[in-house]
Amino acid sequence: MKITAITQDQLIIVNGVGVDMRPHGGFEMRRGEWAVHFDTVTGRGEVEYTDARNNSALTQTEFDKHYAWLLDEHQRAVEKEKADEAATPVDSGGTGGGVDAL
């Protein structure tokens, strides 16, 4: 699984599925992270910072400790968006079909 989270854009992407977290309350990484990239297959990733610090390597252990919550937030937002879509009536734009549509 490939995970990217970009603080300023409030975007979490998991396996190519991006979610704008602003409508879901947003998220905050409190250690000065600009972005976090992680690949669960390789167990490696990288952290980019908002200040002058160099990017740092990210291990599976560090990801689990500091950033695994991003997966939960992404899943929560995806499920909420699906539920909202299911609850929203679809407007076909037609007249309802039938003979009067001719």
Q: Is the Cα dihedral 18, 22, 27, 33 positive or negative? A: positive
Domain contains 100: no
Pairing of strands 33-39, 17-20: unpaired
pLDDT digits (tens, 9 = 90+) for 56-82: 999 999 999 999 999 999 999 999 999
> How many domains, the chain?
1
Domain assignment present for 93: no
Say whether pLDDT at 98 is over 70: no
18 assigned to some structural domain: yes
For 1, the token pair is: 């699984």
Cα distance between residue 96 and residue 2, in whole Å? 44
In a domain, 29, yes or no: yes
> Domain residues for 19?
2-88
Rounded Cα distance, 24 and 77, in Å: 6
Per-residue confidence at 39, pLDDT binned at 50, 70, 90?
very high
